[in-house]
């Protein structure tokens, strides 16, 4: 039996922020037999590499209050727990890993009810409700930022950083910057999480002409739901709904304008990209502001509330930074100082310790 691979079920679903760390972990466990748990209509159907079979369940979050729709959701949750228990038993799984979100509830309950170990990864500075509720039930909670530990006093916390895609670490990676940007121009990268940020896009389109006049190029990743897509045309402006080769792009950019999802922040740190952060104002419990604070405290970024930022103030702030190479260099150094480049290895070591114990 010594050579039988360990069977691990990874429950990660929904956004890039939940999926990329889990994929990075899976790639760090090549000797494991891994299957995925997701939902049928989210990003996992496109992003999870084909070698990991995808099991799907119907699960969604509870709304405020408890009405008829909550009863339906509760029914789905119970159905999901039963289905995950069946998957775990029939597949002889030895442990579960999750990055949180709605999928985590049935995964944790099913695994713990069968006595299986669970490692939960929470990438945000303010852990989500699901993490705060289920964290104490898990064998270990791996944290992206150590400040999160104070919100999880009853959980077994280990700070490991947040794993990034292999393109961020592998110098020999064949992931290259295939965009027409001259070598000697300042590049501003604008992106808004894995789904784009329409409000930021609007500000950027108004502010960008002055940046072009200052000689800068702008790569603008708009997401695929922007009603004004393709409305700005300029030879120094490249607009795309989504771009996959983020590592070379973040390394090349002298400044990023970004939301402050944990995944984006982790990549900014690993690449040492100075940033202007505009936390998504409607994120659950305003968690993106807590994430941004980790970076502003470290001197790695500036952060502005969306409600307080105008196109004019954004324009001026960027023009100021473009002229302050020393300030940008300091921010870059500070960003690198909070990066945890070997996070996937640390997380994999924790999973091995917990599952093979």
243 binds ligand UD1 per the rule CB under 6 A: yes
* 6/199 with CB nearer ligand UD1: 199
**CA terminus-to-terminus distance, the chain:** 16
- Residue number, 207 or 221, with CB nearest to ligand UD1: 221
Backbone phi and psi for residue 190, each to the nearest 5 degrees, phi listed first: -115, 125
- Shortest spacing between CB 314 and ligand UD1, in angstroms: 19
- Select 72 or 284, whichever has its Cβ closest to ligand UD1: 284
Residues 303/317, Cβ–Cβ less than 8 Å: no
Least distance from C-beta 180 to ligand UD1, angstroms? 17
Has 165 been labeled as part of a binding site? yes
Site mask for ligand UD1 (CB under 6 A), range 172-191, x = bound: -------------------x
Angstrom distance (rounded) from CA 1 to CA 333: 49
Q: How far is the CB of 351 from ligand UD1 (least distance, A)?
A: 18
Contact 117, 107 (CB under 8 A): no
Q: Is 137 in the site for ligand UD1 (CB under 6 A)?
A: no
Select the span of 131-139, 174-182, 256-264, 301-309 touching ligand UD1 (CB under 6 A): 256-264
Sign, CA dihedral 286-291-293-299, equals negative
The interface region with ligand UD1, picked from 52-60, 110-118, 179-187, 258-266 by CB under 6 A, is 258-266
Q: Is residue 135 part of the contact set for ligand UD1 (CB under 6 A)?
A: no
Asked if 139 interacts with ligand UD1 (CB under 6 A), we say no
Q: Report whether 204 contacts 314 (CB < 8 A).
A: yes
How many residues form the binding site for ligand UD1 (CB under 6 A)?
A: 25
Residues between 195 and 234 that touch ligand UD1 (CB under 6 A)? 195, 221
C-alpha angle 233-324-253 in degrees, rounded to nearest 5: 45
In the DSSP assignment, the letter for residue 41 is T
323 is in an annotated binding site: no
Residue written as token pair 């009810």: 113
Known binding residue 288? Answer is: yes
Q: Using CB atoms within 10 A of its CB, is residue 179 exposed (0-12), middle (13-18) or buried (19+)? A: middle
Taking the least distance from each CB to ligand UD1, the nearer of 143 and 354 is 143
- CA distances for 26 relative to 21, 110, 189, 351, 357, angstroms: 9, 21, 29, 10, 19
Choice from 17, 105, 117, 161 touching ligand UD1 (CB under 6 A)? 17
Residue from 62, 137, 212, 242 binding ligand UD1 (CB under 6 A): 242
**CB-based burial label for 22 (10 Å; 0-12, 13-18, 19+):** buried
Minimum distance from residue 31 beta carbon to ligand UD1 (Å):
26
Is 99 annotated in a binding site? The answer is no
Contacts of 351 (CB under 8 A, 6+ apart): 8, 25, 29, 95, 97, 119
Distance CA 18, CA 263 (A): 8
Residue 312 three-state SS: helix
- Residues in the site for ligand UD1, rule: CB under 6 A? 15-18, 20, 123-124, 191, 193-195, 221, 242-244, 246, 261-264, 267, 280, 283, 287-288
């Amino acid at each position: 039996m010594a050579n039988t691979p360990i069977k691990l079920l990874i429950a990660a679903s929904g956004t890039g922020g939940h999926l990329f760390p889990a994929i990075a972990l899976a790639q760090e466990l090549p000797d494991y037999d891994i299957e995925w748990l997701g939902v049928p209509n989210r990003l996992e159907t496109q992003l999870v590499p084909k070698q990991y079979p995808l099991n799907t369940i119907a699960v969604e979050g509870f709304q405020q209050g408890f009405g008829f729709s909550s009863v339906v959701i509760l029914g789905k949750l119970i159905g999901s727990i039963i289905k995950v228990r069946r998957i775990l038993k029939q597949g002889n799984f030895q442990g579960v890993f999750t990055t949180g979100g709605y999928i985590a509830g049935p995964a944790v309950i099913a695994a713990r009810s069968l006595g299986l170990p669970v490692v939960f990864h929470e990438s945000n500075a303010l852990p989500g409700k699901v993490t705060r509720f289920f964290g104490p039930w898990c064998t270990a909670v791996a944290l992206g930022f150590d400040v999160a530990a104070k919100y999880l006093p009853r959980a077994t916390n280990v700070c490991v950083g947040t794993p990034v895609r292999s393109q961020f670490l592998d110098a020999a990676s064949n992931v290259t910057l295939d965009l027409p940007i001259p070598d000697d121009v300042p590049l501003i990268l604008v992106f808004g999480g894995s789904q784009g940020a329409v409000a930021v896009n609007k500000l950027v389109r108004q502010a960008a002409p002055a940046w072009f006049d200052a000689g800068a190029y702008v790569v603008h990743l708009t997401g695929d739901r922007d009603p004004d897509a393709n409305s700005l045309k300029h030879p120094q402006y490249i607009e795309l709904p989504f771009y996959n080769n983020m590592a070379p792009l973040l390394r090349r950019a002298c400044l990023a304008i970004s939301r402050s999802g944990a995944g984006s922040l982790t990549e900014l740190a690993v690449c040492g990209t100075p940033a202007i952060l505009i936390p998504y104002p409607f994120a659950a419990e305003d968690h993106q502001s807590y994430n941004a604070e980790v970076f502003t405290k470290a001197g790695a970024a500036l952060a502005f509330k969306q409600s307080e930022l105008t196109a004019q103030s954004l324009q001026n702030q960027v023009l100021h930074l473009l002229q302050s190479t020393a300030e940008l260099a300091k921010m870059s150094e500070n960003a690198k100082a909070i990066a945890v480049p070997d996070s996937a290895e640390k997380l994999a070591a924790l999973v091995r310790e917990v599952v093979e114990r």
